[in-house]
């Protein structure tokens, strides 16, 4: 990688880490315009955008932005929205499932795999996973779905304290 490109990557990383530290100390406030700008800026590297999107999951006020990013043309960004949905909807399993289900049908197997592994956090996901595994062609996604089904089965069998 050329030296100037490395400098740009390092500058992006430092700026993102500083922004993350600033955002996490004020969880009850809306996310900053800077964080939202990083998430939607298509000129930024995908991994920078993905990190910002995952952080947006901590802010309930960013729901519409995360939902819009789930339709990005960038698979890395769509995978990040799956992680953000799990954080965003942790206490609302039906909303989490509704947000993750379209990602189970994504054209990119890596997005489907991430959604399949994320959706097990929603106890009502069994039916969606069973329906998806029947028509999934990618072996890695089928394996992820089976892992999530096993997680759901074991969590329903374990005694509640």
Rounded Cα distance, 143 and 149, in Å: 10
Asked if the model's pLDDT at residue 81 lies above 90, the reply is yes
- The per-residue pLDDT for 84 is 93
* 91-143 residue pLDDT tens: 888 999 999 999 999 999 999 999 999 987 777 888 889 999 989 999 999 99
Model confidence at 22, pLDDT cuts 50, 70, 90, reads low
Give the position of tokens 């994320």.
Answer: 118
**93-161 is classed in which CATH architecture?**
Alpha Horseshoe (1.25)
Average the pLDDT over 33-50 and give the result: 86
**Residue 128 CA, distance from chain mean position:** 18
């Amino acid at each position: 990688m050329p030296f100037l490109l490395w400098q740009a990557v390092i500058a992006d990383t430092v700026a993102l880490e500083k922004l993350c530290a600033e955002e996490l100390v004020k969880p009850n406030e809306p996310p900053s315009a800077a964080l939202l700008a990083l998430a939607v800026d298509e000129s930024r590297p995908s991994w920078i955008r993905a990190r910002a999107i995952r952080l947006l999951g901590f802010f309930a006020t960013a729901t519409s932005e995360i939902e819009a990013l789930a339709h990005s043309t960038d698979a890395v960004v769509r995978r990040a929205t799956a992680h953000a949905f799990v954080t965003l909807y942790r206490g609302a399993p039906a909303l989490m499932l509704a947000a993750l289900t379209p990602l189970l049908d994504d054209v990119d197997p890596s997005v489907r795999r991430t959604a399949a592994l994320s959706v097990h956090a929603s106890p009502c996901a069994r039916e969606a996973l069973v329906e998806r595994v029947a028509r999934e062609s990618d072996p890695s996604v089928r394996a992820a779905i089976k892992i999530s089904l096993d997680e759901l089965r074991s969590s329903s069998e374990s005694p509640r304290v």
